[in-house]
Structure 1
Amino acid sequence: MDTNTPKGNVFIQWLKSQRAAVDETAMGIADIPGYGRGIVALRDLPKEHTLFTIPRNLVLSMRTSSLPQKFGQAAWKKFGLHQGWIGLILCMLWEEAQGVSSKWHGFFPILPDGFDTPMFWDDADLEELKGTAVVDKIGKDDAENNFKTKLLPAVESRPDLFPPDTVATTYTLERHHLMGSRILSRSFHVLRWKAYGEQPDEEAEIGEADASSVLNVDVAASESSVMDIDASNDEVENTTAEAADSAGHEAENGKDDDDDDDRYEDPADVAMVPMADMLNGRFNTETARLFYDDEHVLRMMTVHEIKAGEQIWNTYGDPPNSDLLRRYGFIDVTKLESPLSGAGNPADIVEIPANLVVEAATKHTTSKTQDRVDWWLEEAEDDVFVVGTDCELPPEMVSLARLLLQPKAEWEKTKAKGKVPKPTMDTTIAAIAMDVLQSRLKEYPTSVEEDERLLADESQLGFNRKMAVTVRLGEKRILAGTLRELQIKFSKEASKRKRGTDGAAGKGKKARQ
């Protein structure tokens, strides 16, 4: 694998000029089939070996770019650039346009200049994703609306910062999508840190970090994934991929799904971190982790031994294929565990909207459900339920079904207590759940069997279609597996009840004899 590439060499030299440290004997940047650029080990590496360190002031964000200050904070807010990713997108476009006068001029050439993500697919390929969790999360229309109503008017208002003769080539919709995709796939969520000697004051931001607090770094994440950098123990813990994505792509589209998570509210926390974003992730695989040093640097260190030639993995949680495809343009396939079988992503999930539960439950009750639904959304706040490859029904979904079936008197008691019903299963709840699963399966254009046949001869599929079929098959297997598990469980219970009834009847007859 060739790690001696002109782009990679120039990038590393630029990093060094910015006071970063890179162990060039230990690692190299390479183009890896199926993953794009990644980092590979050049020799056998022991555990706890430092691969590189990056100064904290080298991250690129709305805090570190000089554009917001030049533009003026009042005007920045007037155009809505302080919300979501739109401001960071504009900062990146502007910084790149500055050429060598920008602090990050050596960073942009190493970033991807194209993506295989659904954001760039044509309508025919997107149709293959019908029914999956990907479709409603792409947000292309909303992103384009933000470009037209926020970014472009802001650019046109300041010809001194954005020369008119550069607008048609630099500040375009295509480049807007490119920068947005770079953020989606590579951004970190970095809380503001204090300068040396800075004392806390009344204007300090909520959640800002110093050398003794936790910093949340999101590489995604979305949506992009979250890494908690704990300065107190210098350890990074990877969690689910939410932070920069939730404060990013969704927020850029005017949506904020994480209002309750104060850590991820400020879009100014979303940042591009040179070199750290080069490491790829794979399910249940992590050989390097990011640490935060007291010297205000980020340190990438091995957490396992790595053999020469192996790709170095820094896995940001274990995202399902739907998220991997949407963010990065690739999927992860390995052996599935029971109750599923075959190949797929063990982290795959299916999202089930609450309205399907409501529709199924109304077939089993004459009670009006709207008041109960409103109460549920206020108390439980769950309008989407997630099923994983363990094929187990979410307790919250069962609780909602029970709530909708409660007699009026019991419903009144539930309201008074302010607690959702316990997720207790019975034959009626099982029937509702099976109805929901079957309805959700109907949202896909093909069956499990049809998709399995398509993938059996994948040479006939184009790249995008293969990705789409794999994603939707993974989701359908979960639905079909969960349905199968329910049917098995309740058919066994029905048999037990029948045997018990027959036994009781037999004993009764003997007694009468």
Structure 2
Amino acid sequence: MSYLQPALTFLDWFKTWPGTTFHEHIEIVDLRSRGAGRGIVAKKDIAPETVLFTIPRQAILCSTTSELATLIPGLKTGDEKEEDKEDDKEDDDDENENGQDPWTSLILIMIYEYLRGEKSPWKAYFDVLPTVFDTPMFWADSELKELQASPVVGRVGRKEADEMITSKVLPVIRAHASVFFGSNVPLADDDLIQLAHRMGSTIMAYSFSLEKDDEDDEEQELPKEQGEDVDMMDGVEHGDSHDDHEHGPGCSHEHDHEDADGWVEDHDDQQPLGMVPMADMLNADAEPNAHINHGVEALTATSIRAIKAGEEILNYYGPLSNGELLRRYGYTTEKHAFFDAVDLPWELVQQKLIAELPGLAASDGDKISKMLADDEDDENDMEDPIMLDRDFEEDETTGQLSAPASGRVLAELPPALKKQARAFAKIASKRLQKKREKEKKEEPPVSKNKSGKYGKYGKAKVAPKEEVPRPDKEIAAAGILAAFKVRLAQYKTSLDKDEAQLQSMAASATSLSPSQSRLYAALRVRIGEKRLLTEAIALAKEALEEQKKPATSTKSKRNSRAMDIDEPSGKRQRM
């Protein structure tokens, strides 16, 4: 069987659903030479606002279309009994009487339909879904170490996913073994767990978040732009990560939604989920040329700008950093570097601020941070961790991205960081001042010695010179700089070394082994994060130098206020 045959069979199956359309000027092609698996390409020039394909809602695999919801009463989210609602008012409102949420409900549905084989209406669809995922959840420990100090490492979520499967998925399957297995021999627990992981990862990579329409009681798709983290998971994993996908520098294949790795931690949306055939056949990138529109009766893929013959149709999964793209979908792209981000834990900043304030105890620092977090008068909540993300320029007409003319990836330090550090330093300085004044009052009076003189050697005892308090802004700037230096030092290799290694692998990136491909992705992630931290250090140094300068002129006074300026950002919100 040729590589494309399952996709062509899938296309024929797709067209049998009433209400589907597939534009005559597009086709499913083999894009492995680009490191992108299967994808959809324009055969002829396509004008903007052209409907590329249409997916009727009855073709969506979800709790309202699979018969499993009728075979296991209450499986469908939202069908809980009234008495259960009363008893569990303080529990998760979106869990039904079987303890299922939208994620586990769809996992059960997919396991059921997959085990049905030829009997399932979605058999041809399952045949083009990936069986292997490249997200960090499935990496070896040695491969995960290549991510070094990236925040991605702490969000893999394999343990949590195992716990969810064993507590919510397996008990339902065992209790309804005849429904899931029929006359076949039931799978062993280990095999079911692996299958559940595969389905959970598929959901993360390809599913859509569906919202119920209160007026007509039909399910509707929540547009991705409305911002729920789980809403449009239309996965481009199809393009790329169908079985033979290899990730490389030209990989524009988007694997859907919230990471397939730690998918369990990303199920907070709690809207019903569904698998949307054909929408997830599109690959995606940071500069899309198509968009999925969500109607009551159907979903449509529409071109958002002119697409030339031979050009791939690309969807958009949101402004995801390469770290998030890897965590959710198992790949990275060059263009998603525009959305790169890295975290700076407030605890680290607090430690370095305390170090700038001799005499301030760690416990005092904890109290001050709690005070800031609990401050109801503050307009903005305290951020922790504080995120650094890249600056870029965007053509609002075409959605295309470019680096800023300055050449910097970071234009300014996060306003929240400056504000919190300044507020902490101000409170801490006052506490220290009060402590010193109290200690001074409690000092015993100086008495004369036997010679009638003051002091041990007959000399008058001279009171120590009063220490001039450092400005709060200077303390804040020094603490921020120290924190950034420590954060960068948590990565085991230098930025220069990483960039050289990535460059050496780039020429053969589409033919790397699976392990090398993972290293390539890890390099791309940690390079983006290190670039941000490196420029943050440079900015923090500049800020500290400005704070140390005497404010003797209008210009220097203006610069000394840099730590307090909260400029609005015009960038797309990163995830």
Name the TM-score class by shorter chain: 0.7 to 0.9
Aligned-pair CA distance for 1:405: 2.0
* Local SS of the residue matching 1:107: helix
* Local SS of the residue matching 1:406: helix
Counterpart CA distance in 1 for 2:123 and 2:62 is: 14
Distance 1:407 1:8, change over 3 A: closer
Aligned-pair CA distance for 1:470: 1.4
Distance 1:86 1:31, change over 3 A: farther
Counterpart CA distance in 1 for 2:371 and 2:293 is: 43
Distance 1:495 1:410, change over 3 A: closer
- Unaligned stretches of 5+ residues in structure 1: 228-240, 259-263, 335-343, 412-423, 501-513
Distance 1:170 1:451, change over 3 A: closer
Equivalent residues in 2 for 1:468-479, closer than 5 Å: 468-479=522-533
- Give yes or no for the alignment of 1:215 onto 2:222: yes
Aligned-pair CA distance for 1:149: 2.4
282, 289, 292: which one aligns with 2:291:
289
Structure 1 residue aligned with 2:39: 38
Structure 2 residue aligned with 1:81: 100
Instruction: Decide whether the 8 Å contact of 2:161 with 2:264 is kept in 1.
Output: yes
* Local SS of the residue matching 1:51: strand
Instruction: Decide whether the 8 Å contact of 1:290 with 1:299 is kept in 2.
Output: yes
Aligned-pair CA distance for 1:88: 1.3
Show CA shifts across 1:481-511 (max 9, x none). 11112223443564675999xxxxxxxxxxx
Instruction: Decide whether the 8 Å contact of 2:60 with 2:276 is kept in 1.
Output: yes
Counterpart CA distance in 2 for 1:226 and 1:377 is: 33
Instruction: Decide whether the 8 Å contact of 1:93 with 1:171 is kept in 2.
Output: no
Counterpart CA distance in 1 for 2:290 and 2:503 is: 35
Structure 1 residue aligned with 2:264: 252
83, 108, 119: which one aligns with 2:137:
119
Instruction: Decide whether the 8 Å contact of 1:189 with 1:244 is kept in 2.
Output: no
Counterpart CA distance in 2 for 1:80 and 1:178 is: 21
Show CA shifts across 1:257-292 (max 9, x none). x5xxxxx333x2x22111111212222x12111223
Structure 1 residue aligned with 2:207: 187
Aligned-pair CA distance for 1:171: 5.5
Equivalent residues in 2 for 1:4-83, closer than 5 Å: 5-33=4-32, 34-73=35-74, 77=96, 79-82=98-101
283, 286, 289: which one aligns with 1:280:
283
Show CA shifts across 1:86-108 (max 9, x none). 22112101111122332322211
Instruction: Decide whether the 8 Å contact of 2:429 with 2:472 is kept in 1.
Output: no
Counterpart CA distance in 2 for 1:221 and 1:321 is: 19
Counterpart CA distance in 1 for 2:233 and 2:170 is: 31
Distance 1:493 1:377, change over 3 A: closer
Structure 2 residue aligned with 1:168: 188
Equivalent residues in 2 for 1:410-425, closer than 5 Å: none
Distance 1:185 1:191, change over 3 A: same
Max Rg structure: 2
Counterpart CA distance in 1 for 2:373 and 2:49 is: 47
Counterpart CA distance in 2 for 1:389 and 1:312 is: 26
Instruction: Decide whether the 8 Å contact of 2:422 with 2:476 is kept in 1.
Output: yes
Equivalent residues in 2 for 1:347-426, closer than 5 Å: 347-365=339-357, 366=360, 368-378=364-374, 380=381, 382-390=383-391, 391=410, 392-407=412-427, 426=473
* Local SS of the residue matching 1:397: helix
TM-score by length of 1: 0.76
Aligned-pair CA distance for 1:321: 0.6
Instruction: Decide whether the 8 Å contact of 2:208 with 2:230 is kept in 1.
Output: no
Which amino acid is 1:153 matched to?
P
Instruction: Decide whether the 8 Å contact of 2:42 with 2:309 is kept in 1.
Output: yes
Distance 1:177 1:4, change over 3 A: closer
Distance 1:218 1:79, change over 3 A: farther
Which amino acid is 2:475 matched to?
T
493, 505, 521: which one aligns with 1:467:
521
Counterpart CA distance in 1 for 2:223 and 2:23 is: 28
Counterpart CA distance in 2 for 1:78 and 1:221 is: 25
Show CA shifts across 1:137-193 (max 9, x none). 211111112222221222111222123713239962222221122111111112123
Which amino acid is 2:223 matched to?
N
Show CA shifts across 1:208-234 (max 9, x none). 877xxx83359999656579xxxxxxx
Counterpart CA distance in 1 for 2:423 and 2:546 is: 26
* Local SS of the residue matching 1:110: coil
RMSD between superposed Cα atoms in Å: 3.5
Instruction: Decide whether the 8 Å contact of 2:321 with 2:340 is kept in 1.
Output: yes
Equivalent residues in 2 for 1:70-109, closer than 5 Å: 70-73=71-74, 77=96, 79-82=98-101, 85-109=103-127
Structure 2 residue aligned with 1:448: 495
Aligned-pair CA distance for 1:4: 9.2
* Local SS of the residue matching 1:180: helix
Q: Percent identity?
A: 29
Counterpart CA distance in 1 for 2:56 and 2:420 is: 49
* Local SS of the residue matching 2:69: helix
Instruction: Decide whether the 8 Å contact of 1:402 with 1:429 is kept in 2.
Output: yes
Distance 1:108 1:217, change over 3 A: farther
Which amino acid is 1:355 matched to?
E
* Local SS of the residue matching 2:40: strand
Distance 1:251 1:126, change over 3 A: closer
Instruction: Decide whether the 8 Å contact of 1:185 with 1:219 is kept in 2.
Output: no
Counterpart CA distance in 1 for 2:199 and 2:226 is: 15
Counterpart CA distance in 2 for 1:271 and 1:426 is: 51
Distance 1:427 1:110, change over 3 A: same
Instruction: Decide whether the 8 Å contact of 2:368 with 2:427 is kept in 1.
Output: no
Aligned residues: 437
TM-score by length of 2: 0.68
Distance 1:360 1:158, change over 3 A: same
Structure 1 residue aligned with 2:160: 142
Distance 1:219 1:154, change over 3 A: farther
